[in-house]
Structure 1
Amino acid sequence: MARFTVFRWLSGSLAAVAGLTAVALLATSIDRAGGVPRYNLILLTVESFRADAVSPDLTPRLLALLDESNGVYFRNHRSVSAWTVPNVVALLSGVHPIRQGILSRGHGLAVQPENGLTGRDGINLAMSSFQPFALIDSYSGLGLVREPGGEMPLALAAMARASSPQGLWYHYLDTHLPHRPTLPDGTQPEPDTPGFDTAFGLPPPRDDLERARRLAVATQPVVPVDQFRFPAGDRQWVQAFYQSEIRAFDRWFEGFFDMFRRTGLARNTVLVVTADHGEELAEAGRVGHASTTREGVLSDAVLNVPMMIWTPDAGHRAALQTWSESGVVTDHVDLGGSLAALLGAPMTAYGVAPEVPVGLQPRDLTDSVVPAARYAFTSAAGFAEPDPERSAYLLLSREDLAGRQVVRLDWRAVMDRDVSLDDEFGSVAATLALPSAAGTSEGNAVLNGPIRWIWPRQSGDVTYPEIRDRSRIEWSGPADARYVLEYAAGTGALRMAGEIDVQGNGYAFGKIDEDYWRTFVVPYGQVRFRVRDPAGGAVSEWLTVRMK
């Protein structure tokens, strides 16, 4: 069964609405006082979307809609990290990854969002997310309301009917690993089907090892470098797998944009389309990005991403066009910092501290062009660090008209504030926020007695029908207490472990659809959980859940 349910969604207008609103509904309130314009906002981030994936061959519909609908295409745009979370946080807060303090899973935002969308007179933006991955701890510092399980068609319909501005963040996930060959009708041959990987005129695998690499790319959500490195000869089929998914996105976007126009939202809504980050496609032995290869890089393949903006504001459109034609490099921090301005609230009360280096500050894309070097920052394995409190290395890059420089930093030296870099690199590195837990366990009362599992009650197999309406684990103990949930998922190359601070005696993973379950959950095979009292004492037995 193919994971591309999108083609079923787009079979009718209501289904197109569903495809649009799967992730998040934002509620925006912009003060009318002083003639402040009122625009909706739709932010569409496309997983692993490289800049060179936008072409007449791969995205003809996207390019045609840009041309006929006066969209502005930024060809020199950059992501600011090699994995998803810091990029999304930058887009929604205006805070650069250097200053976020988010180096891996479980880390929380070290500063308040600074883009003026929250906590400011005249505009207040809150996000409600419908997708399970938005529940991760690192998004908790954004002031977001995360409500998994909402009705998708109703969300967009509500935006079209609302009397006050609304916002929507949608993360298109189907271009994430695994990159499975996708046919023009949206179907994906099962990887165990003979010839599944030769549907595009590709030659068959040269040997069993290449066959294993093809199967890994087509079935695994991560392909770490300690499992496979990809020789240059693999590029042909790796690109073909990935590009077939980009073509599928292009077909999806055509249906989405049709609904965007037919609901009337094009007349009063700012639409932004960009990527979280790019993707390596065997240029240097890796397929994926930091969280999937566990050997992150800051290269063109990962940092160069497209950005398109549609706005009903003619003045803003002219300013955006000037930026896009200037040749100046823009990045996700610029966009995140400009969201309030794009909605009609000028960046006059911007909250960035004056000591923050210029290269880490956002520039207002609705105002005059301001050239400035731009920076990117990543840990080695992003979300998938074997130990979230330590990375094999950190990378910091600086890009200006002369090109990009990348420096490698030692984790221990960074933690000890013992980093010595010359010139502007040094001033930027000095602002690096150290990671801290997204939650806190202070003040927790000592629990009495052992902690027992309530659901699942014991270890065993779990199938999708069992979690369709209950993707939550529960345990005994006071409902108002704090707990630490330890987890260890997968084995071998797919192993990942960590812990989550939890308020209350249960943890919800959000609404999970069957395709998500099959593609991103089942490949890990099993996950083990244990709950403990952070104040000491009570602890549960290990619970082993085998996903089937």
Structure 2
Amino acid sequence: MRFLPLLLLAALLPASAANAGTAAQSKLNILLLTVDSFRPDRLGCYGSREAHTPNIDRLASRGALFTRAFSTAAWTNASLVSLLTGLYPGAHGVERRGESFPEGAVAPLELLSKSGCLVPEINYLFPMPNYRNLGFTPNAIRDLPQFLRSCRDSTFFAWYHFHGPHLPYSPPEKYRKMYLPRGEKESPNIRQVLENVILPRGEEVFSESEKAVIRKLYAAEVAAQDEEIGRVLEVLDSLGLDRRTVVILSADHGEELFDHGWLGHASTSLNGTLFDELIRIPLIIRLPDMPRRGIRVNELVQSVDLLPTLFELLGLPLDCPDQGHSFLGLLKGTGGVQAPRDRVFCETSVCGYQCPDTLEVTWLRAVRTESLKLVETLAPHEAPRFALYDLDKDPGEQLDVSALFPDTLARLQGILAQQVFRNQRQREALLASSGATRGGESFPPDMGQVAVQAPAEGETITYAAQGGKVLVSWSGPQNGEYLLEYTVGLGKYHLEGSFPVRGNSQTFGPFNPVFWMAFPHYNPWRFRVVPKGRPELASAWRTFTFN
């Protein structure tokens, strides 16, 4: 994240000798790189002997590596919004695919953006409703290296999310050969993993040899991701930006690789869990003036702690709600620093992004200490179920010992309930702080039915023709408020729902080619546009496909 002009810092901070140090920090850039479905135990710097991750390993050798970092959820958007706000999902409110941070509430990155710091939208996730109102500003450049070259003299907070080793596991050929040199025959089950975004739990039965191949495909995806990260860091260094840029590498969540009988995560398996393979994430941070390099931090930290840490590093007040704890002392390795937390809290729906817009969804909550984990399952029309794991004796979380330790169970149930209550109170305060939101342009009384203008009925949209972008436009006031209703896909790929938009056009993307490859799985795509408060003027349904 990035940091304020000296003049603003002088206004915010008391006149003292401390100002000199803070002024130096104000020139820092922040480069936050997150990777989808990224397990730390598949990286060389985290101990994997078969990993080929030289660029990530080099970054860790020059910074701080956190061995016990955890996400807040087992699917992408809920977790990343926590990272970008310092709030748990139950507080920031992004728990389903159509939800957003409250418009009008102050987001941490908004404080940076308003100060003059560049906080650009430069990755493919921003068109999703889940990433609205977080303080990012529209930006014409969506290529990260190009953005870095364009802002050599600017101060920026740049966040980029890599699709990474998300299903399907279809790595570039050179990395596939690195891990599967014999060119193992592709069984029908392996082809499912090579081609599908969604693999519902139990849909296939994998042999042990197939599981081994799948793990190697994942490792090859990680190696390919390392190369991509290396290219970004090379650009940063070549521009001299490394001398004033904090580099952070982390993830939205982990990935199951048959640790508990299946693969993927909530949005791909439709049967997510909160076992460590899904909530443990890499966290590597390199400061330009790292007091000690190559340090390993073993204390518990969580993604909600990142923003408070960065704001303290910059000497800036975090004048908005947050639930994290700064770990700056641990990051600098100064010693004698108290750990910021003794537990982490996680929550998720079992189906992540694929969940329907209904309350009939199973939810999981967990509290984890260094040695214990309690998981609560909340299924519709059922009493809550609890499972307790002794992580010292059972790090693989295979044996529920809740019946053996009723006192421990009760204590952790109380801690979990308190955290849920705090999230609810924080959510209420956030909504109250948002106040009245700005209304859109009104619709004329004599306005006719909305007409969709793009894409054309029956159109097939290709990556090459559209440059990785999807333009949706319709008739009506340019600043009107509308609801986009959609129904896409068939079978396991079926999704339906709606989300609010302002204006009579939306451009989604640009998406990278790998991400685009997932879209045809959801054919056909159908949507209509409904003016807010005027359902009688809804457009006809428009159908299109991807190729």
Same fold by TM-score, threshold 0.5 exceeded?
yes
Secondary structure, counterpart of 1:477 in structure 2 = coil
Secondary structure, counterpart of 1:146 in structure 2 = coil
1:44 aligns with one of 26, 33, 44: 33
Secondary structure, counterpart of 1:145 in structure 2 = coil
Question: What do the CA deviations read for 1:153-199 (whole angstroms, capped 9, x no partner)?
Answer: 4411133x21x422211112132211014333x5x79xxxxxxx994
In structure 2, relative to structure 1, the CA distance for the partners of 1:111 and 1:456 (3 Å cut) is closer
Secondary structure, counterpart of 1:87 in structure 2 = helix
Tell me, in whole angstroms, the C-alpha distance in 2 between the residues paired with 1:459 and 1:257.
Answer: 42
Q: Does 1:57 align with 2:41?
A: no
Tell me, in whole angstroms, the C-alpha distance in 2 between the residues paired with 1:44 and 1:198.
Answer: 25
Question: What do the CA deviations read for 1:111-139 (whole angstroms, capped 9, x no partner)?
Answer: 98788544389966552223332221111
Q: How does 1:6-45 map to 2 (within 5 A)?
A: 28-31=3-6, 32-33=9-10, 34-35=19-20, 36=22, 37=25, 38-45=27-34
**Corresponding position of 1:471:** 470
Q: Does 1:364 align with 2:327?
A: yes
Q: How does 1:336-415 map to 2 (within 5 A)?
A: 336-342=307-313, 344-346=314-316, 349=318, 351-352=320-321, 360-366=323-329, 368-370=337-339, 371-385=341-355, 387-410=356-379
Report if the CA contact (8 A) 2:202-2:262 is conserved: no
* More contact order relative to length (CA 8 Å, sep ≥ 6): 1
TM-score (norm 1): 0.79
AA at the equivalent of 1:532: V
In structure 2, relative to structure 1, the CA distance for the partners of 1:497 and 1:265 (3 Å cut) is same
Q: Does 1:243 align with 2:219?
A: yes
Secondary structure, counterpart of 1:341 in structure 2 = helix
Tell me, in whole angstroms, the C-alpha distance in 1 between the residues paired with 2:104 and 2:289.
Answer: 29
**Corresponding position of 1:8:** none
Tell me, in whole angstroms, the C-alpha distance in 2 between the residues paired with 1:145 and 1:441.
Answer: 20
Tell me, in whole angstroms, the C-alpha distance in 1 between the residues paired with 2:39 and 2:472.
Answer: 37
Tell me, in whole angstroms, the C-alpha distance in 1 between the residues paired with 2:116 and 2:75.
Answer: 27
Q: Which moved more, 1:257-266 or 1:457-466?
A: 457-466
TM-score (norm 2): 0.79
Q: How far 1:428 moved relative to its partner?
A: 1.0
Question: What do the CA deviations read for 1:46-74 (whole angstroms, capped 9, x no partner)?
Answer: 11110111124314413641465x21111
AA at the equivalent of 2:353: F
**Corresponding position of 1:541:** 540
Report if the CA contact (8 A) 1:115-1:337 is conserved: no
Aligned pair count reads 487
Report if the CA contact (8 A) 1:130-1:147 is conserved: yes
Report if the CA contact (8 A) 2:4-2:112 is conserved: no
Q: How far 1:413 moved relative to its partner?
A: 9.1
Secondary structure, counterpart of 1:244 in structure 2 = helix
**Corresponding position of 2:66:** 74
Q: How far 1:375 moved relative to its partner?
A: 0.7
AA at the equivalent of 1:364: F
Q: Does 1:523 align with 2:521?
A: yes
Q: How far 1:43 moved relative to its partner?
A: 0.5
Q: How far 1:40 moved relative to its partner?
A: 0.8
In structure 2, relative to structure 1, the CA distance for the partners of 1:362 and 1:148 (3 Å cut) is farther
Tell me, in whole angstroms, the C-alpha distance in 2 between the residues paired with 1:62 and 1:460.
Answer: 42
**Corresponding position of 2:407:** none
Q: C-alpha root-mean-square deviation of aligned residues, in Å?
A: 3.5
AA at the equivalent of 2:4: S
Identity across the alignment (%): 24
2:281 aligns with one of 305, 312, 322: 305
Q: How far 1:524 moved relative to its partner?
A: 2.0
Q: How far 1:212 moved relative to its partner?
A: 3.1
AA at the equivalent of 1:396: R
AA at the equivalent of 1:86: A
Question: What do the CA deviations read for 1:236-257 (whole angstroms, capped 9, x no partner)?
Answer: 1210110111111223333333
Tell me, in whole angstroms, the C-alpha distance in 2 between the residues paired with 1:447 and 1:83.
Answer: 44
Secondary structure, counterpart of 2:529 in structure 1 = strand
Question: What do the CA deviations read for 1:285-326 (whole angstroms, capped 9, x no partner)?
Answer: 3321111111111111111111111102345x58x94xx44x
Q: Does 1:282 align with 2:258?
A: yes
**Corresponding position of 2:418:** 427
In structure 2, relative to structure 1, the CA distance for the partners of 1:152 and 1:376 (3 Å cut) is closer
